[in-house]
Amino acid sequence: MKARLFQFHPSPPCAKIRKILEFKGLEYEVVEVDYLDRAELLSVSGQIMVPALQLSQGEVAVDSGWIVTRLEALFPEPAVLPAISRGLHLALARYFEGELGAVLLRVAMPDLIEFYRGQGEQQLALFRLVHDAKYGAGFCERMAGERDSNLQQAMELLAPLEEALAEKAFLLGRLGLADFALYGQLWRLAFTGELKIPAELANLREFFGRLDRLSSALEPVV
């Protein structure tokens, strides 16, 4: 039985886990979870959050951090947390999924609203309710009006990463968790099918494309 990844298509943690599974050469199938109807996810995992990974032997791991931990334990090679740079990978991943991710969420909010509108009015209403409860009333609509300022803030945060990738394929030289975490956050600017990473960030666009093409048949890793 293949592993099954329960996901929301626009989700950065889900994008991260997909690429880690492909990096490790593990076969899996995607189960797209309806934002409103999470009955199967609840039945399998006992909770309603994604990502959740049902492994081929029946074990279910939830939360992207724990999923990474279990995959590293069960399938240690190729490693996403190389011993020599484990701490740096963890620190960078935490930053990408925290401060950077919060800004990219704001940039992507108009696309997210359109995506969930396409899923149905009830799905969109729940999406708005969840985010307004977390960030304040009217957050989703307000972000549509603040996209330019949000994009400028994102450009400022991404600029050092653009520079870091000028002469190397991956952030710390060898492909690892930090790269997958950054890919996941950049997925917010690509999940519509159109790559919206600004053209000025050519190195980041190339980095994203490199990981997006990733499979168990890897491009050379340096």
Q: What is the CATH classification number for the domain harbouring 197?
A: 1.20.1050
Predicted confidence at residue 84, as pLDDT, reads 93
Predicted confidence at residue 214, as pLDDT, reads 86
Whether residue 218 is contained in a domain is answered as no
Q: pLDDT tens for residues 206-221?
A: 999 999 998 744 443 3
Say if residue 45 is in the same domain as residue 111: no
Angle at 186 between CA 165 and CA 197, to 5 degrees: 75
Specify the number of domains making up the chain.
Answer: 2
Angle at 112 between CA 48 and CA 55, to 5 degrees: 35
For residue 67, what is the domain's CATH number?
3.40.30.10
Whether residue 175 is contained in a domain is answered as yes
pTM of the model: 0.95
Predicted confidence band of residue 13 (pLDDT cuts 50, 70, 90):
very high
Q: pLDDT tens for residues 185-206?
A: 999 999 999 999 999 999 999 9
Pairwise CA distance, residues 3 & 31, whole Å = 10
Pairwise CA distance, residues 184 & 191, whole Å = 10
Q: What is the mean pLDDT of residues 58-72?
A: 96
Say if residue 69 is in the same domain as residue 104: no
Whether residue 219 is contained in a domain is answered as no
Say if residue 69 is in the same domain as residue 93: no
C-beta contacts of 63-68 below 8 A and 24+ residues apart:
64/13, 64/14, 64/16, 64/17, 67/17, 68/17, 68/20, 68/177
Whether residue 15 is contained in a domain is answered as yes
Say if residue 41 is in the same domain as residue 90: no
Predicted confidence at residue 220, as pLDDT, reads 38
Q: Which domain holds residue 51?
A: 7-74
* Cα atoms in the Cβ-side hemisphere of radius 13 Å centred on 22: 19
Q: What is the mean pLDDT of residues 95-105?
A: 98
Predicted confidence at residue 31, as pLDDT, reads 97
Q: What is the mean pLDDT of residues 156-160?
A: 98
Predicted confidence at residue 219, as pLDDT, reads 41
Domain stop point among 74, 97, 128: 74
Say if residue 115 is in the same domain as residue 43: no
Whether residue 217 is contained in a domain is answered as no
Q: Which residues of 14-38 are buried (b: 16+ CB within 10 A; e: fewer)?
A: bbbbbbbbbbbebebeeeebebeeb
Domain stop point among 74, 106, 131: 74
Pairing state between β 28-32 and 3-7: parallel
Whether 177 shows a pLDDT value over 70: the answer reads: yes
Say if residue 131 is in the same domain as residue 197: yes
For residue 43, the one-letter residue type is: S
Say if residue 103 is in the same domain as residue 197: yes
Whether residue 164 is contained in a domain is answered as yes
Whether residue 220 is contained in a domain is answered as no
175 backbone dihedrals φ, ψ, rounded to 5°: -55, 130
The 3-class secondary structure across 63-76, one letter per residue, is CHHHHHHHHHHHCC
Say if residue 65 is in the same domain as residue 95: no
Q: What is the residue-averaged pLDDT of the chain?
A: 95
Strand partners, 29: 4
Contact yes or no for 169/207 (Cβ under 8 A): yes
Say if residue 102 is in the same domain as residue 202: yes
Contact yes or no for 165/204 (Cβ under 8 A): yes
Name the E strands within the chain: 3-7, 28-32, 52-54, 60-62
Q: pLDDT tens for residues 115-155?
A: 999 999 999 999 999 999 999 999 999 998 999 999 999 99
Q: What is the mean pLDDT of residues 91-104?
A: 98
Say if residue 171 is in the same domain as residue 64: no
Say if residue 37 is in the same domain as residue 103: no
Pairwise CA distance, residues 13 & 34, whole Å = 17
Q: Per this entry, what is the length of the chain?
A: 222
Predicted confidence band of residue 1 (pLDDT cuts 50, 70, 90):
confident
Say if residue 100 is in the same domain as residue 124: yes
Whether residue 221 is contained in a domain is answered as no
